[in-house]
Amino acid sequence: MKNKIIFVLSLLFGLIFINAGLDKFFHYMPMPENIPENMLKAMTAFNDIGWLMPLVGVAEIVGGALFIFPKTRALGAVVVFPIIVGILLTNTITEPSGLPFALVFVAINLWVLYENRHKYAPMVTK
């Protein structure tokens, strides 16, 4: 049962990240109409840095794809971790209304990181 829950959460998590990454390139998701001014300024600043959003998009696509499959899930969790930190900080500081959604992402990623902690041990031990 635990493996099925992890698989479903990982599949949804990965697909959400792949979708978000693809949107960075193809812009097919409509922008909400009621975006607060401070969030709009932050998004404009991110877009003004020409290389930043494509880099984040590639990381989201690759990390999301890796996150789906059990064999590469530990690597996917590491790849998307900096993006999740950015999502959490953005929703904490700039627009708190998205914080519950961001906390769910943090919880799923931390759970997968914890479940795969034995795979990370060689990186931090002598």
CA-nearest of 97, 115, 95, 118 to 107 is: 115
pLDDT at 79: 97
pLDDT tens profile 18-41 = 999 999 999 999 988 888 888 888
Report the distance separating Cα 92 and Cα 73, nearest Å. 27
pLDDT at 78: 97
pLDDT at 32: 83
Report which secondary-structure segment, H or E, holds 44: helix 37-48
Q: Is the pLDDT of residue 126 over 80?
A: no
User: From the CB of residue 38, how many other CB atoms can be counted at a distance below 10 Å?
Assistant: 11
Give percent helix, percent strand, percent coil of the chain, each to the nearest 5.
Answer: 85, 0, 15
The one-letter amino acid code at 75 reads L
pLDDT at 110: 96
Q: What is the pTM of this model?
A: 0.91
pLDDT tens profile 54-108 = 999 999 999 999 999 999 999 999 999 999 999 999 889 888 888 999 999 999 9
